[in-house]
Amino acid sequence: MATVRKRGNTYQIRVSCGYDCAGKHIEKSITWKPSAGMTKKQIDKELERQKVLFEEKCITGQFLDGNITFNDFAQRWFNDYADKQLRSLTVTRYKELMNRITPAIGHIKLCKLQPHHLMEFYNNLSEDGIRFDTKYTPCSDFKEILSASGYTQKMLSEKSGVSLTAIRSCINGKNVSKNTADNISAVLNRKDIFAVAEGKTRLSDKTISEYHRLISSILTAAVQWQVILANPCDRVKPPKVERKEAVSLDEVQANELITCLQSEPIKYRTAVMLTLYTGLRRGEVCGLDWSDIDFENGLVKINKSVLYSADKGVYEDTTKTNSSNRIISIPSAMVQLLKEYKIEQSKKKLLMGDMWNNSGKVFTSESGGMINPDTLSTWFKGFINRHNLPDIHYHSLRHTAATLLIAGGVDIATVSKRLGHADRTTTLNIYTHAIKSADKAAADKLQDIFTHSKIG
């Protein structure tokens, strides 16, 4: 039952909520202040109402104390919102980001979290060596230091928990992980035997902005759920992210790539050509069923994706956004290639018999099941290297489709619809350079027309 204690011109309402697993008494409280001009009778009546409301919230779990830590509230946010409303891949990424957020600010109570806590965290994220995959180079006299320590390679391995292979790598001057460097340094009681290797040692501004967006989303929910009054992220500016131009192939390079494709397996040749013709995302390509292909009318229906995460493996999900559900046209050459590929897949299906997993997908694993999207990327990287083509990723094929369409004079609305963007602004932002180039070509075209007219 709720109890009340008067403190000056305010009232503290307390509710007992039992005991925790350690036997500690759990008590929740709020402070209520009467409005100016209220009579004693009005105050007593409203106080009783506040007591009942607060007790009900505590019993039903609706009350979240502002003294709750950021980490405890974040777990509530994941359980009550993220796990139910967001895509699995998004939630997985957010939980990866929490591995850094929790040690930094997880212990701070929401009501005490200030902008300077966030700024300190972001500044730490921008330091050298902060990346989990940062490599460390052993000093040139590592072997001599090991010998002088009295440890053999085997003894050091057993004491540090580092494999013999990793220790031999150190002796040979090869880079090792941060964990390996830290463990060896701890055993040898020296901090000067490893240095950060040259290369990527800092997080990008884009990644730091990801952390900011996640923290802000969690704190926005805290405001909406009436746990805190304001979001500290609103008073903090994360690093400015410079928008990079999408990497794509020009017309000549695209034709060279298509020529090189002719000697490749028909499955991958079909996947690459379909991506070039449609601008589909990698997961959308892997998510296509044969029933999504309208051979007669040359149409492709996109309404799902195949994704991969470490906890779920390969799985089918909805498309990225509602606007990603779309039907787009493909040319007759692509229809013909799909028909040829389907025949080859049917032959393989017959050869494998009961071993074939009939998923109904256009692009499958070797046994007919859903294909891991990373398989396309891995194959494509090898293909690029084998043929000495420009160093691009599989996703660059989507950008190539968009830029060539824009260069060819196709209007932005049509390009945006084919790509499945939520609105034209997204397309305009990503393909600014291509749009400017097309606009310049249009201006030059008008000049040619007017100049010719003048001469005539």
| Each residue's pLDDT tens digit, 305-325 | 999 887 788 999 888 778 789
* Residue that is written with structure tokens 């997080």 in the block: 203
User: What per-residue confidence (pLDDT) applies to 339?
Assistant: 97
Q: Hey, where are the domains in the chain?
A: 3-60, 70-126+204-235, 135-196, 251-432
* Residue 317 Rama label (left phi>0; alpha psi -120 to 50; beta): beta
Residues 167, 153 contacting (CB under 8 angstroms): yes
- The per-residue b/e assignment along 299-333, b for 16 or more CB within 10 angstroms, e otherwise, is ebebebbbbbeeeeebeebebbeeebebebebeee
Beta bridge partners of 6: 11
Q: In what order do the strands lie in the sheet with 326-329?
A: 293-294, 299-302, 326-329
Tokens found for residue 124: 């730490």
The span from the CA of 51 to the CA of 1, in Å, is 9
Give the global pTM.
0.65
User: What per-residue confidence (pLDDT) applies to 102?
Assistant: 94
User: What per-residue confidence (pLDDT) applies to 375?
Assistant: 93
Pick the CATH number of 251-432 from 3.40.830.10, 1.10.443.10, 1.10.1060.10, 3.40.50.740: 1.10.443.10
Let me know if the fold of 70-126+204-235 is the same as that of 251-432.
no
Our CA angle for 124, 128, 129, nearest 5°, is 100
The span from the CA of 185 to the CA of 429, in Å, is 48
Q: Report the CATH fold assignment for 70-126+204-235.
A: DNA polymerase; domain 1 (1.10.150)
Residues 319, 325 contacting (CB under 8 angstroms): yes
The span from the CA of 446 to the CA of 247, in Å, is 29
User: What per-residue confidence (pLDDT) applies to 456?
Assistant: 44
The span from the CA of 438 to the CA of 415, in Å, is 13
Class (C level, CATH) for 135-196: mainly alpha
Provide the sign of the torsion angle of the four alpha carbons 273, 278, 280, 284, taken in this order: negative
Below-50 pLDDT ranges, the chain: 455-456
| Each residue's pLDDT tens digit, 396-411 | 999 999 888 888 888 8
